[in-house]
Amino acid sequence: MVSKPAIAVHRSPNQRPEVRGRKHYAVVHWMVGFLLGTRQVFSRPSYRVATNYGVGPGAIDEYVPMDTYAMGSGTYAANRDGISIEHEGGYLRDGVRVPPSRETLDRSAHLLAWLSQQNGWGKLELGRNVRLHHNFVNTSCPGTTDVGYLIAKANEILGQGAAPTAPVQTAPAAAPASSGRPALRRGSTGTYVQQAQTRLRAHGHSLVVDGIFGAQTEAAVRAFQKARGLAVDGVIGTAQTWPALLSGAGTASVGRIVVDGKFGPQTITRLQKVLGQKQDGDFGPVSRKALQRHLGQKQDGDIGEVTISALQRKVSAKVDGKWGIASRVPPPGEKSQTTERLQQALNAGRF
């Protein structure tokens, strides 16, 4: 039996108590800040956001009971079916976003193991009963959180697996060659994976920078290797693929973007280039306001019906004020006519 960890209750008003029930998975977030600040934000009704739990190196907060809908994961289904867990980390230090510490991950693993036991999830697996915030909305969250370590540690506590290796906690300095970077392959996690994903995106490959080397990253590596005439094995080796990734293409590719109707990092990066914004593939508040300015709309960062209608008129799409199916801005995997027309306009240089 997994004992209940020490949990401090800091109840948030940002919940829907009438929507309750057994949960089917955990949703991993990072705070881009500290536990105290998150606690304060979630206490404010005007922010209309909260997760079920927040974890730092010295404490676990409960903002919303585990069986209750918390307004934190971006979609109705994720909030209804998932237990959301924020992790202290993601704040900037010397220009680098700091991943959650091992102490934070160990504390979270105890919580995650207990939640699995309470909800009958069994062995924890990424994509089944552990999911990531960016699986539901267009965000880079949970960033470089070492989810592989978190899951392995929780399974160890559950008696479902071997002890994990320690997570990477610091980001290495950039260098012009592979410079000691390890070989990466499917299943790798951490800061080096984030660096590789960032470089792949800079070379024009559309993928989420989440620090997890999954199927999407492997496919991008294989495509990159094929385009460069390298051995196509899906592994970022130190002799060929790392040096090739680190060479050239200092920013996102200026070639044509894929017209697939999906508002993913490649489309966002091209849009940011047109808007004169930092090209990081994350459609955050600054990019949203820049889009509104470009469209001659009120710059409040809220991509609502008025802004969407202006965008649709700009790209000659059907004007109905709707972009995503369940959200105002569609998640990366969702197709829409508005995004398809935007991609065409960006490729044609008429946006």
Task: Identify whether residues 17 and 107 lie together within a single domain.
Answer: yes
Q: Is the domain of 111 the same as that of 41?
A: yes
The domain tally of the chain equals 3
Are residues 151 and 281 located together in one domain of the fold? Answer: no
238 and 287 share one domain: no
CA distances from 140 to 30, 182, 224, 333 (A): 10, 23, 22, 14
297 and 234 inside one domain: no
**Pair 151, 205 in one domain:** no
Residue where one domain finishes, among candidates 182, 216, 246: 246
Is there a single domain that holds both residue 14 and residue 110?
A: yes
User: Looking at the structure, do residues 153 and 280 belong to the same domain, yes or no?
Assistant: no
Looking at the fold, whether 22 and 147 belong to one and the same domain comes out as: yes
**What is the Cα–Cα distance from 32 to 299, expressed in whole angstroms?**
23
Contact between 84 and 120 (Cβ < 8 Å): no
Q: Are residues 59 and 146 in the same domain?
A: yes
From first to last of the 351 residues of the chain, give the pLDDT tens digit.
899 999 999 999 999 999 999 999 999 999 989 999 999 999 999 888 999 999 999 999 999 999 999 999 889 999 999 999 999 998 877 666 788 999 999 999 999 999 999 999 999 998 899 999 988 887 778 888 889 889 999 999 999 754 454 444 333 333 334 445 778 888 777 667 877 887 888 787 877 776 778 888 999 999 888 888 888 999 998 888 988 888 765 433 345 788 888 888 888 888 988 888 888 777 888 889 989 988 888 888 889 999 999 999 998 899 999 997 766 888 767 889 999 999 888 877 778
234 in the same domain as 132: no
332 within domain boundaries: yes
For 282, what's the count of Cα atoms within 13 Å in the CB-facing half-sphere?
14
The CATH number of residue 29's host domain is 3.40.80.10
Q: Provide the residue range defining the domain that includes 106.
A: 8-158
Determine how β-strand 82-87 pairs with β-strand 25-28: parallel
Would residue 314 count as lying in a domain? yes
Answer yes or no: pTM beyond 0.75: no
- Give the pairing type, strands 15-20 and 8-9: unpaired
Pairing relationship of beta strands 53-55 and 60-62 according to DSSP bridges? antiparallel
Radius of gyration of the chain (CA): 21
Residues 19 and 152 occupy one common structural domain: yes
